[in-house]
């Protein structure tokens, strides 16, 4: 189905179409970021060290809308944020030795970064 427009209003029509497309993309990005973020939080809770249990339970998802076109999802440990770096990379002890690193954040980050990208490509590619 084609729409006939005058040449004078061509720029206006193109601008409106691009704005509608940008709004659709923004909604899709927000939706995919929330879905993948929730999955990542669930997995990082499972893979985190559970010596006391509080550390693994502290992982939360924080959603930030930065203006109309920017959306940010952050995963952080709300209760024991001080331990994340120490556990991920190891640290020196009082007697001069080092603790063993327990990498549990980076593998989840890499896995879900790739999944986020694939889901976006799939959903945006299907919007054509």
- Which token pair is 51? 């010596």
pLDDT at residue number 48: 92
Whether residue 99 is predicted with pLDDT greater than 90 in this model: the reply is: yes
Per-domain residue ranges of the chain: 7-125
Residue-level pLDDT at 1? 56
**Any idea what the Cα angle at residue 113 is, between residues 19 and 89, rounded to 5°?**
140
Report d(CA 72, CA 38) in Å as an integer.
Answer: 13
pLDDT of residue 2: 66
Full-model pTM: 0.79
> What digits encode the pLDDT tens for the residues 27-81?
888 899 999 999 999 999 999 998 877 899 999 999 988 877 788 899 999 999 9
Q: Please, which residues bridge with residue 98 across strands? A: 92
40 within 8 A of 120, measured Cβ to Cβ: no
Average pLDDT value for the chain? 88
């Amino acid at each position: 189905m084609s729409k006939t427009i005058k040449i004078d209003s061509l720029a206006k029509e193109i601008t409106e179409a691009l704005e509608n497309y940008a709004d659709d993309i923004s909604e899709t990005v927000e939706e995919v970021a929330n879905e993948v973020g929730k999955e990542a939080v669930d997995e990082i809770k499972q893979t985190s060290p559970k010596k006391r249990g509080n550390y693994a339970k502290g992982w939360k998802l924080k959603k930030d809308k930065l203006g109309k076109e920017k959306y940010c999802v952050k995963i952080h440990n709300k209760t024991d944020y001080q331990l994340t770096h120490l556990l991920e990379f190891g640290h020196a002890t009082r007697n001069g030795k080092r603790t063993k690193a327990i990498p549990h954040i980076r593998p989840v980050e890499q896995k879900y970064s790739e999944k986020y990208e694939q889901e976006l490509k799939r959903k945006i590619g299907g919007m054509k």
